[in-house]
């Protein structure tokens, strides 16, 4: 028996924003696609609640896993953009799920948050301290970007993804393994202080660090389990932008057909990006019933991590939850817990700490860690790797 992913879910805000939205700040569709691979992203409404997205993704993941909320021992939500300064998202998600037996907490490791949380879930299960762990990555990055800055605004999106991790019979399959890292000496490369509240970053250096650290961590994990990239059925890296993901894939020797990209549809969603990509890959039939997943991420701090973990899932065609008409758990009208009038926990008028004037954490300028300006590709003049002759990823 070993820990594996047995259920996946995701949720996106209704509003899809195409690249044409950014014409007013001097960015064309051609410019954005060429430098990032992004064609659209989703924006949470200004009065929207990130907890709603996290809840929807978590419900789908539990349903796909065949588990109930009362089976969950721990709820871990990776986020840098919570609805409140305190409490975090996890306690609200657990309460609204009905996970009344679960411990719940938020984890802040920037874009590497989901990998950190997944490692924690595996450790809880392997130690016997939990039988089932719900891990969610949820972000409202539109709260933390300068919408007049075309080098960052075009890259950010909102969304949530979740997985259920539990013990399964995986005879002969590799055990999970993770490597996490951090380097606080590099804080000046990507940060926001409490006065300025705007994302500040050294884009070219962050690009180099992201590719190097993710690749190094992934190689270490594979070596510890005596694996090669040929043993990994699907590799999902943090979807900062297409060029970073492809650069990591090339460093590791992952063939394109096993390197998943969905950044074109959802942009950079920070800690939500890996579970969002994983759920979309499953919906497309890219996962199958069983397999070995490779993950890697890099974020502010700087923080980074990589890991391998198995999955045991049902087939997409057998999944009624992909059909909204067949799935009441994602239908707000069918669910009193998503009705603002029925749920005072998320009623902003009932909770003064969610007032942006009272809560600097919800201020869009308050947190740099998920800013894809960590990717210099959006600024061709500042980033020599955008020149084809200087970029072996695009030249190759």
Catalytic residue among 42, 238, 241, 262: 238
Query: What percent of the chain is helix, strand and coil (3-state, nearest 5)?
Result: 45, 20, 35
Q: Is 238 a catalytic residue?
A: yes
First to last CA, the chain: 42
Q: If we measure between CA atoms, which residue out of 251, 258, 186 comes closest to residue 220?
A: 251
Q: How many CB atoms lie within 10 A of CB 290?
A: 14
Task: Give the position of tokens 């990555």.
Answer: 137
Are 178 and 115 in contact, with CB atoms under 8 Å apart?
Answer: yes
Q: How is 256-291 classified by DSSP, letter by letter?
A: GGGB---HHHH-B-GGGHHHHHHHHHHHTT-S-SEE
Residue 15's DSSP bridge partners are 43
Distance CA 197, CA 392 (A): 36
Determine phi and psi for 305, rounding to 5 degrees: -175, 160
Q: Is 111 a catalytic residue?
A: yes
Are 8 and 283 in contact, with CB atoms under 8 Å apart?
Answer: no
- Residues in the chain, overall count: 396
Distance CA 274, CA 261 (A): 10
The H helix count followed by the E strand count for the chain is 10, 13
Q: If we measure between CA atoms, which residue out of 309, 363, 347 comes closest to residue 170?
A: 309
DSSP helix/strand/coil, 351: coil
Q: Is 19 a catalytic residue?
A: no
Residues marked active site are found at 111, 238, 268
């Amino acid at each position: 028996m070993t820990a594996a992913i047995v259920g996946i879910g995701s949720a996106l805000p209704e509003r899809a924003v195409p690249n044409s939205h950014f014409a007013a700040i001097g960015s064309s569709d051609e410019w954005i696609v060429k430098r990032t691979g992004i064609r659209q992203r989703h924006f949470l409404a200004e009065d929207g609640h990130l907890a709603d997205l996290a809840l929807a993704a978590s419900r789908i993941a539990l349903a796909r896993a065949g588990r109930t909320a009362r089976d969950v021992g721990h709820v871990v939500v990776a986020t840098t953009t919570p609805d409140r300064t305190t409490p975090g998202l996890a306690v609200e998600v657990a309460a609204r799920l009905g996970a009344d037996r679960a411990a719940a907490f938020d984890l802040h490791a920037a874009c590497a948050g989901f990998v950190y949380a997944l490692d924690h879930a595996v450790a809880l299960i392997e130690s016997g301290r939990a039988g089932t762990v719900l891990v969610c990555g949820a972000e409202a990055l539109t709260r933390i970007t300068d919408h007049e800055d075309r080098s960052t605004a075009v890259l950010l999106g909102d969304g949530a993804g979740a997985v259920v991790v539990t013990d399964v019979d995986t005879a002969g399959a590799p055990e999970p393994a993770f490597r996490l890292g951090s380097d606080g000496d590099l804080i000046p490369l990507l940060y926001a202080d409490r006065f300025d509240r705007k994302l500040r970053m050294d884009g070219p250096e962050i690009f180099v660090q992201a590719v190097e650290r993710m690749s190094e961590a992934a190689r270490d994990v594979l070596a510890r389990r005596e694996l090669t990239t040929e043993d990994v059925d699907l590799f999902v890296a943090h979807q900062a932008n297409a060029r970073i993901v492809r650069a990591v894939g090339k460093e590791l020797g992952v063939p394109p057909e096993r390197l998943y990209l969905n950044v074109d549809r959802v942009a950079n969603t920070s800690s939500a990006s890996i579970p969002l990509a994983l759920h979309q890959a499953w919906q497309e039939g890219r996962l199958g019933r069983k397999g070995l997943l490779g993950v890697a991420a890099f974020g502010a701090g700087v923080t980074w991590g990589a890991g391998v973990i198995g999955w045991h899932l049902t087939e997409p065609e057998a999944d009624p939850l992909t059909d909204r008409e067949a799935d009441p758990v994602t239908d707000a009208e069918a669910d009193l817990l998503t009705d603002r009038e029925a749920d005072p926990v998320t009623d902003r008028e009932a909770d003064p700490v969610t007032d942006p004037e009272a809560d600097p954490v919800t201020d869009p300028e308050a947190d740099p860690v998920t800013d894809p300006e960590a990717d210099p590709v959006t600024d061709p003049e500042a980033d020599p790797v955008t020149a084809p002759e200087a970029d072996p990823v695009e030249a190759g």
